[in-house]
Chains A and B, each alone.
Chain A
Amino acid sequence: MRNIFLFIRRYFNVILFLVLQGFSIYLIVYYSRYHKAIFSKTANQFTGKINEQYSNVAYYFQLKKTNDSLVAANEKLYNKLKADFELPDTSSHLAIDTIKVDSIEQFRKYRYYPSKVVYNSIVAQNNFIVLGRGASQNVKEGMGIIDPNRGVVGVVTEVSPDFAVVMSLLHKDSHLSGKLLKGGETGTLNWDGKTPNIISLSGIPKSAKVSKGDTIISSGFSTSIPKGMLIGIVQEVKGDKSTNNFLIKFKTAANFYNLEFVYAIENNQAENIKTILEKVKQKTQ
């Protein structure tokens, strides 16, 4: 027993070193597998406050750019107004809707919440975005995030009362599904950790017709991001020799360098779908 104590006292620094290293590596492994750590729940709220202060200052330097993107988004919406379209008289007649209650509201599937980006990283191998909106402002885990021009940004992985952490597309574990707008083939997005704004799409069979400049949209298979959101534009198509698939590289629609405002998307049917899937899982087990 005495020898053990002597040993510990003698090699205390080495042991401490190994313990601290082990703990950090445990954090890396544990965190990347489950995206959760008890530590970050509190740190999230604390660092979020500091980041928010910073972003309030940086916000002013981006006002012009933010304004431009909002004008562009508005323009698109204006062009979708019903007043912009007029059918010939013979095929339509005017009817006034007299119901005061919004009768369509109960069928709402998606709801959008605007949010400011408080922190955004690009250069790391696993990138995160922090939103200045959290659980007390209706942001939940698993909600999809898009930018003002409907470009997919990522998925919420963690929420604290006032802030939310988003795993952006530029993350090793971010595997959303994408769909070719032209052919409709679905594949999986992967980031290789090198160039920001360039992501690869795998799992597209060689029978598909893909060419440079094609659009990739979200498939809508997951409950987080609705179908038809822009993911990117194909930049490079290569055949994979070992499989029957293409290796497609594309430029993301969202520009991760200057995210300022984003929208969080709530899916009202997410809970329903989840419970059904769990039931199926239980049955098959």
Chain B
Amino acid sequence: MSTLLKYIFRFAMFIGVQVFVLDKVHVHQMVTPYIYFLFILWLPFNMGRTQQMLIAFALGITLDSFRHHPGFHTAACVMIAYIRPYLINLLIPQEGADSNYDEPSFKSMGGIAPYLIFTGVLTFIHHSWLFLLEAWQFGNIWYFLVKTLLSSVLSLLLIIITELMFARKQKFRTNTV
């Protein structure tokens, strides 16, 4: 399967699951599960920062058009797409390791811990920016903090489950580029 086709399919799946499965699950007002932004985390290492941000913008605005109040998810997606490359540079174990594999995963990031930090931090940033923008209109700080924390935990759990259920086959590319 060509890479572009794979990403288009992934895009549609993530939006579909988010809108038609997770948005229909009402766990609690304080706990909102999110998974669609995993699409941004799974983008390839070697993609330019500009492209990443534009793709994140497209993803956010697609989800927002289902929610009928545009802006919130777009802002959060662009935010994590901007921060993602910095975080990868910090967490990648050795020089040039990011050229061995295509995209971030347990294997390519060199272990469970770095990948968990990578997803955990970005999940937290995504949620806090999203809920901060939402809470702005209500001005309730505790509501924002609790909602961000609880939702981040649930989303992280969902991401780990997804990661285990859909093992992505990653080819080891030669490191003598």
Hey, which bits of chain A sit against chain B, CB under 8 A? 12-13, 16-17, 20-21, 23-29, 31-32, 37, 39-40, 43-44, 46-47, 50-51, 54, 119, 121-126, 128, 130, 165, 172, 192-196, 257
Contacts and interface: CB of A to CB of B under 8 A. Distances in A.
B66 A25 contact: no
B120 interface: no
Interface residues of B, number: 33
Most A CB within 10 A of own CB, among B26, B68, B133: B68
Contact of A40 (B32, B60, B68): B68
A264 B54 CA distance: 39
Nearest to B78: A20
Interface string B81-121: 01000000000000000000000000000000000000000
A126 B134 CA distance: 9
Q: Which of A20, A21, A25, A40 is packed against the most chain B CB atoms within 10 Å? A: A20
B42 interface: no
Nearest to B64: A27
Contact of B29 (A27, A123, A126, A165): A123
Contact of A17 (B74, B82, B137): B82
B130 to A, nearest CB: 10
18 contacts: A13-B50, A20-B53, A25-B71, A28-B72, A32-B69, A32-B137, A39-B70, A51-B66, A119-B66, A121-B67, A122-B26, A125-B137, A128-B67, A128-B69, A130-B68, A172-B138, A193-B137, A195-B29
Contact of A43 (B65, B74, B134, B143): B65
B35 interface: no
A24 B66 contact: no
A270 to B, nearest CB: 24
A24 B78 contact: yes
A29 B71 CA distance: 9
A47 B133 CA distance: 24
A193 B133 CA distance: 13
Among all A-B residue pairs, the 3 with the closest Cβ atoms: A28-B71, A27-B71, A43-B65
Contact of A47 (B26, B53, B65, B134): B65
Contacts of B57: 20
Contacts of B78: 17, 20-21, 24
A21 B140 CA distance: 23
Q: Chain A interface secondary structure, helix, strand, loop or mixed? A: helix
B75 interface: yes
Nearest to B75: A24
Given A25-B133, A121-B67, A16 B60 contact: no
B143 A13 contact: no
Given A16-B53, A51-B66, A123 B32 contact: yes
Given A25-B133, A123-B32, 17 more contacts: A16-B53, A17-B82, A24-B78, A25-B71, A25-B75, A26-B71, A31-B69, A39-B70, A40-B65, A40-B68, A119-B66, A123-B23, A124-B69, A125-B135, A125-B137, A126-B137, A193-B138
A256 to B, nearest CB: 10
A181 B86 CA distance: 60
B143 to A, nearest CB: 7
A68 B69 CA distance: 33
Contact of A12 (B20, B50, B54, B71): B50
A196 B29 CA distance: 8
B20 A194 contact: no
Contacts of A194: 29, 143
Contacts of A124: 67, 69, 134
